[in-house]
Chain A
Amino acid sequence: DAGVIQSPRHEVTEMGQEVTLRCKPISGHNSLFWYRQTMMRGLELLIYFNNNVPIDDSGMPEDRFSAKMPNASFSTLKIQPSEPRDSAVYFCASSLALRGVTEAFFGQGTRLTVV
């Protein structure tokens, strides 16, 4: 397996524009996570899905952020409208919950810069 695949790797956009980040989890995994990493706040969990269903979205900063998982092999994180404070590295991770053992595997991240 190629691991968790994220696209794009880098995104530069202007304030107010819509941004869509994409993630393909490892085949067979049943949980998917979106994280945001900044120098100030470290790694923050934004939302996670189990069997394509959002379980906890309490980390989503505000209504400008939304995430979907239409099927087991694809998820998107959308920011609309984007703001400079959204600049960060966004990671997607997936795992397979098996008898409570859940090892998470991360993608390479999308570095978002909002100017």
Chain B
Amino acid sequence: KQEVTQIPAALSVPEGENLVLNCSFTDSAIYNLQWFRQDPGKGLTSLLLIQSSQREQTSGRLNASLDKSSGRSTLYIAASQPGDSATYLCAVSGDNYGQNFVFGPGTRLSVLP
């Protein structure tokens, strides 16, 4: 059974810092990995999708990498801003139909002005 963990559980940084969020999964047979952002009381917003054949994806100040063999992904946020404060979740999709997402518990990020 696929299990996804995220480290750290919570992170507080001053504005402007570069930071890394970590995601680990136990079964490397995945179709893709997706990073989400969730603001308090809101739904999940997709940030980046990395296909299993890819090693990284970039969008603006965000860069996500994937190492399938070691079961790891990292989300790099450059020049953090207070507006980046949210919970970040990673999810992997299994290979039955390529559609069953398993989520990690999330990292709660606070960027202080």
Question: Which A residues lie at the B interface, using CB under 8 A?
Answer: 31, 33, 35, 42-43, 45, 48, 50, 55-56, 91, 93, 95, 97, 100-109
- Residues of chain B at interface, number, CB under 8 A: 26
A95 near B51 (CB under 8 angstroms)? no
Whether the pair A97, B97 counts as a contact (CB closer than 8 A) is: yes
* B103 and A100 contacting across the interface, CB-CB below 8 Å: no
Q: Kindly state whether residue B46 has any CB partner on chain A within 8 Å.
A: yes
A97-B42 in contact given A102-B93, A103-B34, A104-B91 (Cβ < 8 Å)? no
Given contacts A50-B99, A103-B34, contact A108 B43 (CB under 8 A): yes
Cβ of A9 to closest chain B Cβ, rounded Å? 10
Given A43-B89, A91-B44, does the pair A100, B100 have CB atoms closer than 8 Å?
no
Q: How far is the CB of A46 from chain B (nearest CB, A)?
A: 12
User: Which B91-107 residues sit within 8 Å CB-CB of chain A?
Assistant: 91, 93, 96-106
Q: Which residue numbers of B lie inside 8 Å of A, CB to CB?
A: 31-32, 34, 36, 42-46, 49, 51-52, 89, 91, 93, 96-106
Known: A33-B101, A42-B106, A50-B97. A100 touches B89 (CB 8 A): no
Complex Cα spacing A42 to B106, Å: 8
Asked if A102 and B98 sit within 8 Å, CB to CB, the answer is yes
A31–B52 Cα distance when bound, in Å, is 19
18 example contacts (A-B, Cβ-Cβ < 8 A) are as follows A42-B103, A42-B104, A43-B89, A45-B101, A50-B99, A55-B96, A55-B99, A97-B99, A100-B32, A100-B52, A101-B49, A101-B51, A102-B31, A102-B32, A102-B98, A106-B36, A106-B43, A109-B43
